[in-house]
Amino acid sequence: MTVAALIVAAGRGHRAGGAEPKQWQHIAGRPVIEHTLERFAQHPRIDRIMVVLHHDDMDLLKSIDCEITQGGASRDASVRNGLEALAANPPDKVLIHDVARPAVSTEVIDRVLDALQSHPAAAPALPISDALWHGANGRVTASCARDGLYRAQTPQGFHFDAILKAHHANDAPAADDVEVARRAGLEVAIVDGDERNLKITQPEDFARAADALKGSHMTDIRMGNGYDVHAFEPGSEVILCGVPIAHTAQLKGHSDADVAMHAITDALYGAIAEGDIGRHFPPSDPQWKDAASAVFLSHAAELVRAQGFEIGNIDCTIVCEMPKIGPHAAAMQANLAKIIDIEPTRISVKATTSERLGFTGRQEGIAAMATAALYKS
């Protein structure tokens, strides 16, 4: 049995707001469409992915291996175009999914596929639990019984030949593909949906979807540690986490000697097994002489995301007697957050002394240690 996923992504999604359609807006560091496609690309029972795109977007999708076809003037037309594109090499089963549901789980996909073993169509849904009203002009006009009512979700699964025939016969707008199937006389099985499988419709739904991705589908978590030291030399300021701080000396180094940012950078490299700063920016290379350490940190963050990870949090401890770090910690957090594109609340910068012991206690230099946590959703 061959199974194709048909991802409907040709809409403009104006209610979601933003400068671009919702499927191209970012959540958890990546476009919505990439999260959605990854759910199906990584599922062992999905053999093919067909994506239906708006004609203006045909060149935008590059990150995931899939087939692409152009959408139509309505959702019905877009689904029909996608089915006809698949018909050149027809699958046995097809799952039709809204691109704006990026947190669909493996379990929901499995439940739909399992139901297709004994039914021509199946779809996930959640029973209505809230009271329902009819209303007009901002007032309640009547109550509505909720018995037997469900909130429909996707993917909606079908025997391919049956749903293709149903779409060809359909001549009226439909809320979804289940409605098209029922008009054609197909029996549709209901399987359990998932509250996390929400559809992004309004601006506030982006944050909810990001929470669903982060909280429920962490398949790979990494930790990395970094440590660095730099000695003092004559000067008038030190740079820590990109923030200049007046002092009676400066730190000595090939670059700007930002000991704290170096420790954080090495923690990120370590979490993805990419060595340390020296591997990527050798001190023997003169082009990195006096370089801003933000270049190194930005590179590490890019490598993290290139491997499909997001930065969960960073914790950095600076060890020194002087200068005082506390008054500058908030600025350090903000600067780091801007460089690696995460919320400042996910970054901790703090300081301690070595109780006047060792080289830091003798004020010969500064040490820093950092831990980074990464996750792949």
Same domain, 238 and 298: yes
Which residue intervals of the chain are DSSP H helices?
32-41, 75-86, 106-115, 160-169, 177-183, 205-216, 259-271, 277-280, 293-306, 329-340, 358-361
Q: Final residue of a domain: which of 194, 216, 238?
A: 216
| Spacing of C-alpha 233 from chain mean position | 44
- The whole domain housing 11 covers 3-216
Give the Cα separation of 336 and 349 in Å (integer): 10
The reported pLDDT for the residue numbered 123 is: 98
**What's the domain count of the chain?**
2
- pLDDT band at residue 63 under the 50/70/90 scheme: low
72 φ/ψ angles, rounded to the nearest 5 degrees: -115, -165
- pLDDT at 17 (0 to 100): 83
Do 225 and 158 have their domain in common? no
Does one domain contain both 246 and 194?
Answer: no
- Give the model's pLDDT for residue 377: 57
| Stretch among 51-55, 215-219, 324-328 having the lowest mean pLDDT | 215-219
Q: What is the pLDDT of residue 218?
A: 47
Taking alpha carbons only, the member of 195, 194, 46 closest to residue 107 is 194
Task: Return the H-helix or E-strand segment holding 94.
Answer: strand 93-98
**Residue 94 shares a structural domain with residue 225:** no
The pLDDT tens digits for 173-210 are 999 999 999 999 999 999 999 999 999 999 999 999 98
The span from the CA of 50 to the CA of 55, in Å, is 15
13 confidence band (pLDDT: 50, 70, 90): confident
What is the per-residue pLDDT for 216?
Answer: 53
Q: What is the CATH number of the domain that holds 343?
A: 3.30.1330.50
Q: Is the pLDDT of residue 118 over 60?
A: yes
Clarify whether residues 300 and 339 are in a common domain: yes
Of 162, 188, 216, the one marking the end of a domain is 216
Query: Which of the residue ranges 44-58, 276-290, 312-326 would you say has the lowest mean pLDDT?
Result: 276-290
Distance CA 372, CA 41 (A): 28
Same domain, 179 and 304: no
Closest CA to 159 of 107, 205, 116, 222: 116
- Please indicate, yes or no, whether residues 228 and 207 belong to a single structural domain of this protein: no
Whether residues 24 and 135 fall in one domain: yes
Residues 6+ apart with CB under 8 A from 119: 187, 188, 189
Based on the fold, state whether residues 273 and 211 are members of the same structural domain: no
- What is the tens place of the pLDDT at every residue in 336-363? 999 999 999 999 999 999 999 999 999 9
Task: Tell me the average pLDDT of the chain.
Answer: 93
At 194 the three-state DSSP class reads coil
Q: Peptide bond preceding 283: is omega within 30 degrees of 0, i.e. cis?
A: no
The Cα–Cα gap between 255 and 300 comes to 16
